[in-house]
Chains A and B, each alone.
Chain A
Amino acid sequence: MSVLVYAESPNGKIKKAALEAVSYGAKLSKLMGLECIALVIGAAEGKEELASYGASKILQLDHANLQSFDSQNFAFAIAEIAKTQNAGVLVLSHSASGKSIAGRVAVRLNAGLVSGVNALPNLEGGFSVAKGVFSGKATAHYQVDADVKVLSLMGNAVPLEKQEGTGTVESVQLEIPAPKTKVLEVKTQDGVVPLPEAELVVSAGRGMKGPENWGIIDELAQILGATTACSRPVADIGWRPHHEHVGQTGVAIRPNLYIAIGISGAIQHLAGVNSSKTIVVINKDPEAPFFKAADYGVQADLFDVVPKLIEALKKYKASQN
């Protein structure tokens, strides 16, 4: 038996989500006394690096019918490789493509699926694994009663750890049918870490008064190398793009640092961000509910404080160089 990790490579590159999945798979394989095998599909710049995160073998699958993303073909391919590698556990990233594939692969392998896991499983008396539920308001431990397990790993949930690894790349072959979907275009912002992967997030809400005031937020984010986010009403009225909206009905994130500026901290907002490791709240209302969920708070007018914070960070960054 083995632990198989599908190491995704959107835009042809291995990114953090895939490294995390392999890191997790390697630890899991040690726990279970199994081999950890990584699978990459198509162009996957940086795949050799997967060895140093614990993959003992890196399988490369190329096929003309896998050149653009199609959940059906990708799931078919991953399931077939899982069978030939006798995978007891299959690990994927809980990402846009991972979520589109996981359910399909689970059906194909007759496996039990737990999506969005955030810790290693507990193997005492079976196989159980934790994930966030109620949009981050609680954790549930799922027992899996199937021979094969499929787990999709939440981003930023487990630390990346380099290990000894000697894995080399081997090519594998498979017949793949023509895809039923056609990708016409992929539009992504260059140079910005997408929210679900971001370690540092600067977020602002209605306290900003208007979109013309966002300059200080962008500047703060830039100095930190952070990704920007916002509360729902701010996206709804069009001050910020929809994809920045975090919360229960937006993107759920768990960065190392979440700075909330002019956001009241409504329960639906907190739901999507309260798994963040450190939370800083800047709000002029001492009664704002967000302070209860924060590690550090600044009770003041954001238009005074944010420029001061920017100056302090500039000084700090300069001293670091």
Chain B
Amino acid sequence: MNSLVCISKTPETTAKISFNDNNSQFDTEGVQFIMNPYDEWYALVRALEAKEQHGGEVTVINVGPASNDVVIRKALAIGADKAVRVDTEANDAFQVASEIANYAKTGNFDLIYLGKETIDYNGAELGAMIAELLDIAYISFASKMEVDGNVAKIERDIEGGIEVVEVQTPFVISAAKGLAEQRIPNMRGIMMAKRKPLEVVPSSSVQAKVSVKEYKLPEMKSGVKLVDPDNMDELVRLLSEEAKVI
């Protein structure tokens, strides 16, 4: 079972979100970056579990500049065997998906894992694109997977429940909560990661189709209106007459 795990870099979850250059750029000043939680906690760990159960190799891939290497090294420390970085800025989902699909074609991957979405651009776009570019099946938002030979039985999250799906390798899977349990890298893993291969490959110069023109921060709430705890009739009145939500 050879796996390719797509990993991305996102601002840490408590990062202050602000913009510069006329609100056209995310202001990275003072922002700490981490591996996208869905990629790290669920996708990568499930791929490692599959390797532990069925053998094979886990390769992680990132499309991005050299400054992403820290995040890639963390994936190696958690247990991936090797890493690839496609050396270009990630501009939009189509460009990134094309680079990943092109790389995937050069290898022999049974499974391609992604996180269900990135917590910065919240696209949930890439998995479907990669699967289409490779003409294989895509199972999104998987919260449980059992593998038997080349057949996988997967539970995927849908509105208000789950859907149980059966699929044969090769396929693309996006990982939601539940698919695996987060693993913390230990000292040995961190030392070993330094010696694991991180291959840098040139991009195939695919053009992006969408770009962000402008960012906006939400308008501030005008301030909380406090309601007397002994007067819940007043809260009900406000909700029905002022907010008009009930």
| Chain A residues proximal to chain B, CB less than 8 Å | 10, 69-72, 75, 94-97, 99-104, 106-108, 111-116, 128, 130-146, 180-189, 192-197, 199-200, 224, 242-243, 245, 248-250, 252, 256-257, 267-268, 271, 274-275, 277-281, 291-300, 304-305, 308-309, 311-313, 315-316
Contact = CB atoms under 8 A, between A and B. Distances in A.
Contacts of A250: 177
Q: Majority SS of interface residues in chain A?
A: mixed
A183 B235 contact: no
Nearest to B137: A180
B239 A245 contact: no
16 contacts: A99-B140, A103-B128, A134-B11, A134-B122, A137-B17, A139-B215, A141-B214, A142-B213, A144-B210, A182-B167, A187-B162, A200-B246, A295-B225, A296-B224, A312-B233, A315-B236
Contacts of B227: 296-298
A141 B153 CA distance: 39
A278 B159 contact: no
Nearest to A69: B163
Given A186-B163, A242-B177, A297-B227, A248 B13 contact: yes
Contacts of B177: 242, 245, 249-250
A257 B239 CA distance: 9
A106 B138 CA distance: 15
B14 to A, nearest CB: 5
B149 interface: no
Interface of B: 11, 13-14, 17, 19, 37-38, 93-94, 97, 119-133, 136-141, 143, 153, 156-168, 171, 177-178, 208-218, 221, 224-227, 229-230, 232-233, 235-236, 238-240, 243, 245-246
A243 B209 contact: no
B239 A146 contact: no
Contacts of B119: 134-135, 248-249, 271
A184 B166 contact: yes
Contact of A274 (B19, B160, B218, B245): B218
A161 to B, nearest CB: 17
Contact of B159 (A95, A185, A279): A95
A297 B129 contact: no
A298 B246 CA distance: 18
Nearest to A71: B138
Nearest to A180: B137
A153 to B, nearest CB: 13
B239 A296 contact: yes
A188 B246 CA distance: 26
Given A128-B213, A296-B226, 14 more contacts: A69-B163, A72-B138, A96-B141, A96-B163, A100-B140, A113-B94, A133-B121, A138-B218, A140-B212, A182-B165, A184-B164, A185-B164, A294-B224, A304-B229
Nearest to B130: A103
Contacts of A136: 218
B163 A277 contact: no
Nearest to A313: B236
Contact of A194 (B121, B156, B160): B160
